[in-house]
Structure 1
């Protein structure tokens, strides 16, 4: 049955889902139409809101691009290739390979979403190299499905922001410590259940032998070795460029900064921390500054989708926020909620809004001002309400191609190749999220 569902959605998505850029443009038009019909804003006001917010995510865009290039460069270094190769060698059949990718990706994304997103895609490539007869589309989809665990893990934006002083909701509801969000029974259940269930789900999605789409060998060609050999004829400039001492000094500088930062502010992980750690590790593992620069140059080719699409999502987010449309959508749900149904309706509203605001931190900015005061007013659990926002965002990432772009860029596939499988994962993972919210 699950195989049939996956095949159906794969066919539908391949036929009707446009390129992610077109998806962003269509969402822009839909957001304008909804805001025009449901809020008192004039067309001119909406255009101004959209244009004023178009560049709001420039820093975030650069952070995402850096996650992709530093992660890609790290994963293409010799030592990491050897680790991935060793793990890939554990799989002997297409079923084992696909299940292993889903498991590794789920665990990695629970540790840190940026690391997991990149590692999962690179591991899928490694398994495809080693296992004959594996369906490459499902293999890469399995890597992306692991992203379902991220918001319940150690780098979840909403629970971390909710526990951070100075966040937009602190004056309204106070701080929500992670003991009431990440380290609760329901969140541990949901995260563990996803890590266990995803490999079983992809096993059930395995296509029939005649439907298997094998990988294009050109996609699996090893990245060229980036280290250059120094010879007696090398110039002084070349010797400096290929100096391992410089790489070690840069890495030590970054380590010193992190030690000082954690000493002053306590241990915490955020996007910038992940990026600088990846940079330090990458420059060390590539051995020389120019070796690392060449690896970054190869990885940067995959950032085109991020660069062109994120500004449009920033415009959509600004339009929804400033027009009041996000509040209208959220209020449709919370007006009919009580203390028992509030987590589910918050989860569903977050899932809908994620199509226009595909960002965990963005959800806290857009939904927090409406959801959290309502939760406080009706006596709902504040921690569970915050996590319901987080889960909704993570859940519909399976139908929103925004976050698939970095993984797809590494894997060399398009969004239509994997989204049918991901929509199937969305249907079945929804049961886990809802069960966790109501069983604990």
Structure 2
């Protein structure tokens, strides 16, 4: 029954859901007119808020661009691509492909969400190549589904923020160690429940009719992952510099030594280090700078949606913050909560705000100063409130096209191909997590 519902719902979404960029523009207009019609701010003030926030994600956009490109270039290294092929070869049958992609990507999300973006997309593509019984859109949805887990991982933006001395809410809630947030038994139990049930739900959505299965098609991917070809003609000094492995080996080794020193001195894993790691390893393992540059050029074809859409969501955050609309939304939900239901309402509020402003760190900057004082007044643990906001932020990533863009860019699909499955999955995640947060937080 679920497979039939998922198939019909997915077809409906494919027909009516516009491109992700169109969604970003429509959401911008919705937030703008909502702020205006509710007399929160004047049209000119709203326009100024949008413009001031438009480039907030500029540094983050470049980080994501480098993450995708360096990750894909690293995946094109011969021994790594062969390793992914062998791993993908384990996905026999009709159920294993989805489970394998989900579980491996979930592990990557626990380590670092930036790393997981590349791992999940490339693994889904490789599994799709080798298993024509797998419905490729659902396979990609399986790679994207673990995004709901990142708040309980080592790169949890909210969990790490409140554990950092000098964070902007330290005067209200103090510095909260990760033992009370990410590694708290309640958080671990929610994580385990989701890891067990989500792949079951995904498998139940898989098409049973062979005619409904859409297999992977090589032409649909914008990145082949194959070894880039270089011009080997001639033996001029310039060509020798391009094809010698020495320059790439040395420059990559310098980067890797720096990273080892960084971690040895107590450095934390973040996007910048992940990017430098991918870049250095790619230089180190590719056979020449020419080959590395060729792979980098091929990878560049996949990043245009990221560059185009990130600034528009930054503008929405500017609108929500400066206009007071974000505060109105959060206050409205939290005002209906009691001490026993506060964390659940915080979860729902975070999920709703995340649809409009998809950024864990940006959302905490907007929502934290409003929710933590209310939590303290009601006698609710600030650490549990912070994690409830984090789970809410991660929950509606399933129905927010913003975070799907990196994976979709690699596999060459549109948001409409996977969103039907993601929306149904978000219903299950929302219900299960709401119940667990109510009893555990």
TM-score when normalising by structure 1: 0.95
Alignment of 1:296-375 (within 5 A): 296-375=296-375
Q: Which moved more, 1:390-399 or 1:37-46?
A: 37-46
What is the DSSP-based 3-state SS (H/G/I as helix, E as strand, rest coil) of the residue aligned with 1:355? helix
Cα distance in 2 between the residues matched to 1:413 and 1:218: 11
Instruction: Tell me whether 1:252 sits opposite 2:253 in the alignment.
Output: yes
Give the aligned CA root-mean-square deviation in angstroms.
1.8
| Alignment-derived partner of residue 185 in structure 1 | 185
| Alignment-derived partner of residue 109 in structure 1 | 109
What is the DSSP-based 3-state SS (H/G/I as helix, E as strand, rest coil) of the residue aligned with 1:45? helix
Show structure 1 runs of 5+ residues with no match. none
Partner deviation per Cα, 1:229-276 (whole Å, 9 max, x = no partner): 868x42222222233222232223223333443354x23111111111
Partner deviation per Cα, 1:374-424 (whole Å, 9 max, x = no partner): 112211111111111111111101111101111011111111000001111
Cα distance in 1 between the residues matched to 2:364 and 2:91: 40
8 Å contact from structure 2 (residues 397, 403) kept in 1: yes
Alignment match of 1:226 (pick from 211, 225, 228): 228
Q: Which moved more, 1:114-123 or 1:168-177?
A: 168-177
| Alignment-derived partner of residue 55 in structure 1 | 55
Alignment of 1:46-195 (within 5 A): 46-195=46-195
8 Å contact from structure 1 (residues 243, 288) kept in 2: yes
| Alignment-derived partner of residue 409 in structure 1 | 409
What is the DSSP-based 3-state SS (H/G/I as helix, E as strand, rest coil) of the residue aligned with 1:94? coil
8 Å contact from structure 1 (residues 9, 423) kept in 2: no
Deviation at 1:224, TM superposition (A): 4.2
- Residues 235 and 133 of structure 1: CA distance in aligned 2, closer, same or farther (over 3 Å): same
8 Å contact from structure 1 (residues 227, 286) kept in 2: no
8 Å contact from structure 1 (residues 53, 314) kept in 2: yes
| Alignment-derived partner of residue 400 in structure 2 | 400
8 Å contact from structure 1 (residues 316, 356) kept in 2: yes
**Matched residue pairs, number?**
438
| Alignment-derived partner of residue 419 in structure 2 | 419
What is the DSSP-based 3-state SS (H/G/I as helix, E as strand, rest coil) of the residue aligned with 2:356? coil
- Residues 436 and 83 of structure 1: CA distance in aligned 2, closer, same or farther (over 3 Å): farther
Q: Which moved more, 1:309-318 or 1:91-100?
A: 91-100
Deviation at 1:285, TM superposition (A): 2.5
- Residues 229 and 49 of structure 1: CA distance in aligned 2, closer, same or farther (over 3 Å): closer
| Alignment-derived partner of residue 13 in structure 1 | 13
Cα distance in 2 between the residues matched to 1:223 and 1:106: 22
8 Å contact from structure 1 (residues 113, 155) kept in 2: yes
Show structure 2 runs of 5+ residues with no match. none
Cα distance in 2 between the residues matched to 1:190 and 1:254: 38
TM-score when normalising by structure 2: 0.94
Cα distance in 2 between the residues matched to 1:321 and 1:212: 44
Instruction: Tell me whether 1:215 sits opposite 2:179 in the alignment.
Output: no
Cα distance in 2 between the residues matched to 1:174 and 1:368: 13
Cα distance in 2 between the residues matched to 1:379 and 1:435: 20
| Alignment-derived partner of residue 30 in structure 2 | 30
| Alignment-derived partner of residue 430 in structure 1 | 430
| Alignment-derived partner of residue 242 in structure 2 | 241
Partner deviation per Cα, 1:320-363 (whole Å, 9 max, x = no partner): 01111111110011112222111100110011111111111111
Cα distance in 1 between the residues matched to 2:212 and 2:432: 29
8 Å contact from structure 2 (residues 125, 216) kept in 1: no
Cα distance in 1 between the residues matched to 2:32 and 2:422: 28
Q: Which moved more, 1:108-117 or 1:408-417?
A: 108-117
Deviation at 1:76, TM superposition (A): 2.2
Cα distance in 2 between the residues matched to 1:290 and 1:174: 51
8 Å contact from structure 1 (residues 93, 132) kept in 2: no
Cα distance in 1 between the residues matched to 2:75 and 2:381: 41
- Residues 155 and 208 of structure 1: CA distance in aligned 2, closer, same or farther (over 3 Å): same
- Residues 315 and 216 of structure 1: CA distance in aligned 2, closer, same or farther (over 3 Å): same
8 Å contact from structure 2 (residues 253, 284) kept in 1: no
Cα distance in 2 between the residues matched to 1:229 and 1:325: 56
Deviation at 1:287, TM superposition (A): 3.1
Partner deviation per Cα, 1:169-226 (whole Å, 9 max, x = no partner): 2233222211111001121112222222222111101112231122224236844422
Partner deviation per Cα, 1:287-306 (whole Å, 9 max, x = no partner): 32232222121111111111
Partner deviation per Cα, 1:94-117 (whole Å, 9 max, x = no partner): 321122112211221122111111
Cα distance in 2 between the residues matched to 1:261 and 1:170: 27
